[in-house]
Amino acid sequence: MSFDSSKPVHGSGLDATKEVRLNILFLCEKLIIEAMPVLDKIPKSHRYRFGARLEQAFFQLPELVIQAASSKAKSKIYALNDHLDVLHSLLRIGAERKLISPRFLGGIIRLPIEGEKYGGLLRQICLVSAKWRESIRGE
């Protein structure tokens, strides 16, 4: 069974705000799917320390997005942004220690290339989250 990202997952009649929230959730799920093979290659000596922490950070992303979307509380959106910073830090540490592929890290945090609007998956998630955070500051 294939997943069609062009159709709303959680019902019909979505307003613009809900579409943005579903988009960030979709991006998080896509990032986790891309990260799983990389996490499987973490050396056994680091799998239960660094690997478990990184995996936990990836799996918390959709949960934090859902909590932020459902509660509409500023603190939940700020927590999502903080978590993205932690994830980014863990990824940099992993690449520096050669526990994860620098190619994978470069791919998910890369700047947009010509003809592309946003860049890598993690960069897209961070951009959407930052816009979400900015939108609530005015409320």
Determine phi and psi for 8, rounding to 5 degrees.
Answer: -60, 135
Angle of helix 16-40 relative to helix 102-109, nearest 10 degrees, comes to 170
Residue 24 pLDDT grade (very low, low, confident, very high; cuts 50, 70, 90): confident
3-state helix vs strand vs coil in the chain, percent to 5: 75, 0, 25
Q: Cα separation of 52 and 72, whole Å?
A: 30
CATH fit for domain 16-137, picks 1.20.1440.60, 1.10.390.10, 3.40.50.360, 3.30.43.10: 1.20.1440.60
Say which amino acid occupies 85. D
pLDDT band at 133 (very low <50, low <70, confident <90, very high): confident
Lowest-pLDDT range, 12-21, 78-87, 105-114, 130-139?
12-21
For residue 54, what pLDDT is reported? 94
Distance CA 42, CA 61 (A): 20
Integer Cα distance of 135 and 92 in angstroms: 29
Measured distance CA(100)–CA(92) in Å, rounded: 9
User: Can you tell me the distance from the alpha carbon of 15 to that of 76, in angstroms, rounded to the nearest whole number?
Assistant: 21
Average of per-residue pLDDT values in the chain: 82
Q: For residue 61, what pLDDT is reported? A: 94
Using alpha carbons, list the distances in angstroms from residue 42 to 29, 54, 71, 83, 96. Answer: 20, 10, 35, 21, 13
